Amino acid sequence: MKSILRAFALLSVALILSGCDWVVMRPSGDIAVQQRDLIVVSTVLMLLIIVPVVFLTFFFAWKYRASNREAEYLPDWHHSTRLELVIWLAPLAIIIVLGTITWITTHKLDPYRPLDRIDATRPVPDDVEPLVVEVVALDWKWMFLYPEQGIATINELAAPVDTPIQFKITSASMMNSFFIPALAGQIYAMAGMETKLHAVINKEGVYKGFSANYSGDGFSHMRFDFHGMSRQDFDAWVATVREGEPLDRAGYLEIEKPSEREPVRHFGSVDADLYDAILNMCVAPDAMCIHEMMHIDMSGGGGVDSRGNLDRLRYDNRHADEPIEAPGATFPDSGREARGDDEPQGHQPRAADPGDAAPQPTPDSDLDSEGATPRTPDQAPTSQGAPAEPDGDSGP
Q: Distance (Å, rounded) from C-alpha 290 to C-alpha 313?
A: 9
Give the pLDDT confidence score for residue 68 in this predicted structure. Answer: 85
Name the least confident of 13-17, 43-47, 193-197, 261-265.
13-17
Give tens-digit pLDDT for 78-122: 888 888 888 889 889 999 999 999 999 999 999 999 999 999 999
Q: What is the DSSP letter of 41?
A: H
Identify which has the larger pLDDT, 344 or 191.
191
Q: Which fold has domain 23-69+80-108?
A: Helix Hairpins (1.10.287)
DSSP calls for 54-118: HHHHHHHHHHT-TT-TTS---TT----HHHHHHHHHHHHHHHHHHHHHHHHHHHHT-TTSPPSEE
**What CATH number matches the domain at 128-279, 3.50.50.60, 3.30.2320.50, 2.60.40.420, 3.40.50.2300?**
2.60.40.420
Give the pLDDT confidence score for residue 334 in this predicted structure. Answer: 54
Identify which has the larger pLDDT, 348 or 125.
125
Task: Evaluate if residue 4 carries a pLDDT over 80.
Answer: no
Identify which has the larger pLDDT, 263 or 292.
263
CB 118 within 8 A of CB 198: no
Task: Evaluate if residue 179 carries a pLDDT over 90.
Answer: yes
Residue 265's pLDDT band, with cuts at 50, 70 and 90, is very high
Q: Distance (Å, rounded) from C-alpha 252 to C-alpha 262?
A: 14
Give the pLDDT confidence score for residue 396 in this predicted structure. Answer: 39
The pairing of strands 184-189 and 195-199 is unpaired
Query: What average pLDDT is seen over the chain?
Result: 81
Percentage of the chain modeled with pLDDT above 70 = 72
Beta strands in 156-301 (DSSP E): 156-160, 165-171, 176-180, 184-189, 195-199, 205-211, 223-229, 245-247, 265-270
Question: Comparing C-alpha atoms, which of 209, 144, 141 is closest to residue 181?
Answer: 209
Question: Comparing C-alpha atoms, which of 124, 146, 123, 122 is closest to residue 134?
Answer: 146
Per domain, the residue ranges of the chain are 23-69+80-108, 128-279
Residue 335's pLDDT band, with cuts at 50, 70 and 90, is low
Residue 76's pLDDT band, with cuts at 50, 70 and 90, is confident
- Mean pLDDT score, 159-185: 94
Give the pLDDT confidence score for residue 17 in this predicted structure. Answer: 57
Q: Distance (Å, rounded) from C-alpha 223 to C-alpha 142?
A: 8
Give the pLDDT confidence score for residue 87 in this predicted structure. Answer: 85
Give the pLDDT confidence score for residue 287 in this predicted structure. Answer: 82
Give tens-digit pLDDT for 342-386: 655 555 555 555 555 555 544 545 444 444 444 454 544 444 444
Q: Distance (Å, rounded) from C-alpha 2 to C-alpha 184?
A: 45
Which helix H or strand E contains 152, and what residues bound it?
Answer: strand 151-154
Percentage of the chain modeled with pLDDT above 90 = 48
DSSP calls for 217-253: GGGGG-EEEEEEE-HHHHHHHHHHHTTSEEE-HHHHH
- Mean pLDDT score, 161-173: 95
Name the least confident of 15-24, 43-52, 250-259, 377-386.
377-386
Give the pLDDT confidence score for residue 324 in this predicted structure. Answer: 60
Give the pLDDT confidence score for residue 255 in this predicted structure. Answer: 92
Give the pLDDT confidence score for residue 353 in this predicted structure. Answer: 54
Give tens-digit pLDDT for 289-312: 888 777 777 766 666 666 666 666
Residue 67's pLDDT band, with cuts at 50, 70 and 90, is confident
Largest alpha-carbon pair distance within the chain? 95
